[in-house]
Chain A
Amino acid sequence: MNTKKTTFNNRLLPYLLLAPQLFITLVFFIWPAGQAVKSSFEREDPFGLSTVFVGLLHYQRLFEDPNYLSALSRTAVFAVSVTALSMILGLAFAAAVDRLMRSGKIYTTLLVWPYAVAPVVAGVLWWFLFNSTTGLMPFFLEKIGIHWDHDLNGTQAMILIIIAAAWKQVSYNFLFFLAGLQSVPQSLMEAAAIDGSGPVKRFFTISLPLLSPTTFFLFIINVNYTMFDTFPIVDATTVGGPAQATTTLVYKVYQDGYLGLNLGSSSAQSVLLMMIVMVLTFVQFRYVERRVQY
Chain B
Amino acid sequence: MLKKLTFAAAALALSATTSLAATEVTWWHAMGGELGKKLEEIAAKFNESQADYKVVPVYKGSYPETLTAAIAAFRANQQPAIVQVFEVGTGTMMAAKGAVYPVYKLMADQGESFDKSAYLAPVVGYYSDTEGNILSLPFNSSTPILYYNKDVFKKAGLDPEVSPKTWEEVEQFSKKIVSSGAAKCGFTSAWITWVQTENLSALHDQPFGTLDNGFGGLKTEFTFNGKVQVKHWGNLKKWQDEGLFKYGGPVGGDQAATMFYAQECAMTMNSSAGRAGVINNAKDFTPGFGPLPYYADEIKEPKNSIIGGATLWVLNGKDKDVYKGVAKFFSYLSKPDVQADWHQFTGYLPITNAAYELGKTQGYYAKNPGSDIAIEQITRGTPSANSKGVRFGNFTQVRTIVDEEFQGLLAGNKDAKQALDSAVSRGNKLLREFEAAN
Indicate the size class of the contact surface on chain B.
35 or more
**B247 located at the interface, meaning its Cβ lies under 8 Å from any Cβ of chain A in the complex:** yes
Q: Which residues from chain B contact A258 at a C-beta distance below 8 Å? A: 3, 68
- Whose C-beta in chain B lies nearest to the C-beta of A48? B75
Decide if B403 touches A151 in the complex (CB within 8 Å): no
Q: Which residues from chain B contact A183 at a C-beta distance below 8 Å? A: none
- How far apart sit A161 and B220, CA to CA, in the bound complex (Å)? 38
**A168 located at the interface, meaning its Cβ lies under 8 Å from any Cβ of chain B in the complex:** no
Decide if A47 touches B99 in the complex (CB within 8 Å): yes
- How far apart sit A256 and B68, CA to CA, in the bound complex (Å)? 12
- Whose C-beta in chain B lies nearest to the C-beta of A46? B71
Q: Which residues from chain A contact B92 at a C-beta distance below 8 Å? A: 46, 261
Q: Which residues from chain A contact B400 at a C-beta distance below 8 Å? A: 255, 259-260
User: Given A45-B96, A261-B68, are A243 and B404 neighbors across the interface (CB < 8 Å)?
Assistant: yes
- How far apart sit A262 and B258, CA to CA, in the bound complex (Å)? 33
- How far apart sit A132 and B264, CA to CA, in the bound complex (Å)? 12
A27 CB to nearest chain B CB (Å): 12
Of B148-156, B293-301, B408-416, the one touching chain A: B408-416
- How far apart sit A154 and B394, CA to CA, in the bound complex (Å)? 26
B28 CB to nearest chain A CB (Å): 15
- How far apart sit A154 and B407, CA to CA, in the bound complex (Å)? 10
- How far apart sit A134 and B259, CA to CA, in the bound complex (Å)? 9
User: Given A152-B410, A261-B68, A262-B397, are A241 and B250 neighbors across the interface (CB < 8 Å)?
Assistant: yes
Q: Which residues from chain B contact A243 at a C-beta distance below 8 Å? A: 404-405, 407-408, 411, 413
Binary flags per residue of B284-319, CB closer than 8 Å to A gives 1, else 0: 000000000000000000000000000000000000
Decide if B258 touches A133 in the complex (CB within 8 Å): yes
A window 41-77: CB within 8 A of B: 43-50, 52
Decide if A152 touches B437 in the complex (CB within 8 Å): no
Binary flags per residue of A26-46, CB closer than 8 Å to B gives 1, else 0: 000000100000000001111
Q: Which residues from chain B contact A46 at a C-beta distance below 8 Å? A: 71, 92, 96
- How far apart sit A44 and B255, CA to CA, in the bound complex (Å)? 36
User: Given A46-B71, A133-B255, A133-B262, are A151 and B404 neighbors across the interface (CB < 8 Å)?
Assistant: no
Residues of B participating in the A interface, judged by any CB pair closer than 8 Å: 1, 3, 64, 68, 71, 74-75, 92, 95-99, 247, 249-251, 255, 258-259, 262, 264, 394, 396-397, 400, 403-405, 407-408, 410-411, 413, 433, 436-438
Residues of A participating in the B interface, judged by any CB pair closer than 8 Å: 32, 43-50, 52, 131-134, 151-154, 239, 241-244, 255-256, 258-262
Q: Which 5 A-B pairs have the closest CB atoms?
A: A242-B407, A243-B407, A260-B397, A47-B99, A243-B404
